[in-house]
Amino acid sequence: MAMVCLTDFEEYAKEHLSKATWDYYAAGADECCTRDDNLLAYKRIRLRPRILRDVSVSDTRTTVQGTEISFPVGIAPTAFHCLAWHEGEVATARATEALNTCYITSTYSTCSVEEIVAAAPNGYRWFQLYVYRDRKLSEQIVHRVEGLGYKALVLTVDVPYTGKRRNDIRNQFKLPPHLKVKNFDGVFQQETAGPEEYGIPANTLDPSISWKDVYWLQSITRLPIIIKGILTKEDAELAVEHGVQGIIVSNHGGRQLDGGPASIDALSEIVDTVQGRIEVYLDGGIRTGSDVLKSLALGAKCVFIGRPAVWGLAYKGEEGVREVLQILNDEFRLSMALSGCRNVAEINRNLIQFSKL
């Protein structure tokens, strides 16, 4: 069957993945209000297209942290790609390299950072990081990825504790025995007797993480630091004051606090506060090229997709992820042209009309 839009990949994945795996990827926290609102919020935003603008030639290229990518959509950090496709993150890395965009590798990968680099040596990659109670663990992985040529660190800040994802609890979700959190292979073997949470021992994440840890991270690396999980202007201002290089506006795909804002609804106040001092990105709810256009019009430099990449993997591995990215690229180019924009520099807030719904 022809895959025409991202929903086609979603339906395929739902049919073909095991129930526990599908539920894990699909999960939101509590009643899933925020997860669902991430998508609904885009439907409340209307575009104001301009016409007769000569859109015979269009250019979707942009830059993130000074590096050119082919279009403003990258892959957000999501865990356990081997649950969806046997090659896992290696396939994701090859697909993003082929389309010349940015892949944020998750700490919770089922392939190691070394395997990912070997599979796609010319890919542009950032690394998503958690801060652990054992700071040495975090420090070791930072030095590993810096040595491997990852270009930025993405510090996830919205998980002092894991959100309550009801279906994972009902399913007693666990990684199957043949899969591991590869970046920590061997590190936790002595603790395997204790309770486990998403592939590593429970209570490994540090709930005491605070702004001072941003300074700590800056002291151990020269890589740019991008903070993922900011939803308010107050925290955006603090991020700038602490000298980070970027913000990803994100509610963790609605998997952490239920009842927070949709990512796209939080974007404007953050962009207005930051005022171009650092780059602002977004993830959560991107399903079409027009979603990408709306995000850029509201001030995002680039957006990142999480679940749709996993659906692409479930469909056909590397080829599936390439197809998902290509469809978004084509739809974005078309939406741009139909709105009268020839390149990303012409996309601005005048394109947006908030509907009265």
For tokens 């109670």, what's the residue?
133
253 is in an annotated binding site: no
Instruction: Specify burial of residue 226 (Cβ count, 10 A radius: 0-12, 13-18, 19+).
Output: buried
102-105 and 124-129: which strand pairing?
Answer: parallel
78 is in an annotated binding site: yes
339 is in an annotated binding site: no
**What's phi and psi for 150, nearest 5 deg?**
-65, 145
81 is in an annotated binding site: no
Residue 252: active-site member:
yes
86 is in an annotated binding site: no
77 is in an annotated binding site: yes
**What's phi and psi for 105, nearest 5 deg?**
-80, 135
161 is in an annotated binding site: no
307 is in an annotated binding site: yes
Alpha helices in the chain (DSSP H): 6-16, 19-26, 33-43, 89-98, 113-119, 135-148, 166-171, 212-220, 233-241, 263-274, 289-297, 307-338
Cβ(308)–Cβ(9) below 8 Å? yes
229 is in an annotated binding site: no
24 is in an annotated binding site: yes
Among residues 81, 143, 242, 252, the one annotated as catalytic is 252
Cβ(102)–Cβ(73) below 8 Å? no
Residue list, annotated binding site for glyoxylate? 24, 165, 252, 255
Residue list, annotated binding site? 24, 77-79, 106, 128, 130, 156, 165, 228, 250, 252, 255, 283-287, 306-307
Active-site amino acid positions: 252
Residue list, annotated binding site for FMN? 77-79, 106, 128, 130, 156, 228, 250, 283-287, 306-307
